[in-house]
Amino acid sequence: MSLDEHRNVILHNVPESVYYTRQLAVASNSGLKILDEQSPRHYQHWCENPDNDDDATAGLIFGKAFHCATLEPDKFATVYSVLPADAPRDLRRYRNAKRPNSDTLAAIDWWDAWEASNVGRIMLSAASYDQAAYMGESLRAYRMTFPGNVDLTGGELFDSCEKEVTLFWTDEETGIRCKARADIHNAEFRLGGDLKSVLDGSREAFARSIVRYRYHVQNAHYGDGYKTCGQPISSFPFFCVEKTAPFVVASWHVDAMAEERGYAIRRRSLLKLKRCLEEDRWPGHTSTLETLSLPAYAFYDAEETNA
């Protein structure tokens, strides 16, 4: 599987290592965000130094665990393991000590046995494991009611969908290769969707999150991908679950105005990327001396200062 293929295609089971390979000329939603909100120089650095950022942090591991608990709950317990609260200290570094005492030997044995029984599993702290499991359960149990008293739970919806579906396509206007990876996709019902773990899933808070994290641009990017790949979707909901008890769930869909704005911002970002690629220039925040103004709040107390 190569990103260089010039096909517009929706693929399943694309390995993470392939999908998450960063290339300057392949636009992902995350990459466009960096290019547009920070600078082309930041984007270039992000592409060329994949190991230097924080992606491999506990946050990302937790995110994957939460996705697994929600979308593939049966696999969750086999992929992730939690260290028992009564686990002894990890003393395996004293394995070659001259005269290890019996407690040390017992601890080493316990760790060897534990590791042997958890080969290939990803270890989470007990708190993170429980949190991911509760969030997943809450999302799956979330009940939506539609006109005609039709009920649908998150679990029913997720189970009907393919997970982690990958899209590769070429943007018609700029000729830039694009990629996206949707959490859920149901081709038959023309659905895509994304899971979000949030601090506050309320209307106002999530509307702010949409702007802050450019979820409306994500909606546009994915929507364009589905359309170009010949499978336009009719709905792209965001399923948000709060990170703290009682792990309240909310489902939101951006309206037409937000969607239009998302398309405009994405277009701007792609044109910026096209210009950078054509000129092979990756400028930072400025390329010449520029004048700046202060934000409005800097002038709020102007009158008081003079008084």
Partner 1 sequence: MNRPAEPELMEREIPSADIGTLPAILRAEIDGQIATAHAFPRSVVNFIKESKTLVTLDVEMAEACIYALPRGGKTIAGPSVRFAEIIANSFGNNRFGGRVVAEEGNFIVAQGVYHDLEKNSQCTFEVKRRITDKYGKRYNDDMIGVTGNAAASIAMRNAILRGVPKAFWQSIYDAARQVAVGDASTLSADRERALGWFLKAGITNEQVFAKLGVKGIEDIGIAEMEALVGLKNMLKDGIPGEVVFAVDEPPQAQTSAGGLADAAVAMKNKKKPAEPAKEAAKEPQRDPDTGEVLPEELQ
How distant is the alpha carbon of residue 186 from its chain centre? Answer: 19
28 binds partner 1, rule: CB under 8 A:
no
Q: Cβ distance 240 to 196 under 8 Å?
A: yes
Residue from 237, 243, 248, 277 that binds partner 1 (CB under 8 A)? 237
Q: Cβ distance 165 to 185 under 8 Å?
A: yes
Tokens representing 53 are 């950022």
**The tokens 């997943």 sit on which residue?**
136
Residue from 184, 233, 240, 249 that binds partner 1 (CB under 8 A)? 233
By DSSP bridging, strand 26-27 and strand 177-186 are parallel
Beta carbon of residue 233, minimum distance to partner 1 (angstroms, whole number)? 6
279 binds partner 1, rule: CB under 8 A:
no
- Please give the helix or strand (H or E) that residue 223 lies within, else none: helix 215-228
249 binds partner 1, rule: CB under 8 A:
no
Q: Which is nearer to partner 1, 132 or 196 (CB)?
A: 196
119 binds partner 1, rule: CB under 8 A:
no
Residue from 32, 107, 180, 191 that binds partner 1 (CB under 8 A)? 191
124 binds partner 1, rule: CB under 8 A:
no
Measured CA to CA, the distance from residue 228 to residue 178 in angstroms comes to: 10
Q: What SS3 class is residue 9?
A: strand
Q: Cβ distance 227 to 234 under 8 Å?
A: no
Q: Which is nearer to partner 1, 146 or 297 (CB)?
A: 146
Q: Cβ distance 191 to 161 under 8 Å?
A: yes
144 binds partner 1, rule: CB under 8 A:
yes
Nearest to 242 by CA among 205, 272, 217, 216: 205
- Please give the helix or strand (H or E) that residue 44 lies within, else none: helix 40-48
Residue from 56, 141, 245, 264 that binds partner 1 (CB under 8 A)? 264
Would residue 55 be called left, alpha or beta, if left means φ above 0 and alpha means ψ between -120 and 50 degrees? Answer: alpha
Residue from 49, 170, 235, 244 that binds partner 1 (CB under 8 A)? 235
211 binds partner 1, rule: CB under 8 A:
no
Q: Which is nearer to partner 1, 257 or 289 (CB)?
A: 257
162 binds partner 1, rule: CB under 8 A:
no
267 binds partner 1, rule: CB under 8 A:
yes
167 binds partner 1, rule: CB under 8 A:
no
The binding site for partner 1 (CB under 8 A) comprises: 144, 146-148, 150-152, 156-157, 160, 173, 186, 189-191, 219-220, 223, 227, 232-237, 251, 253, 256, 259-260, 263-265, 267-268, 271
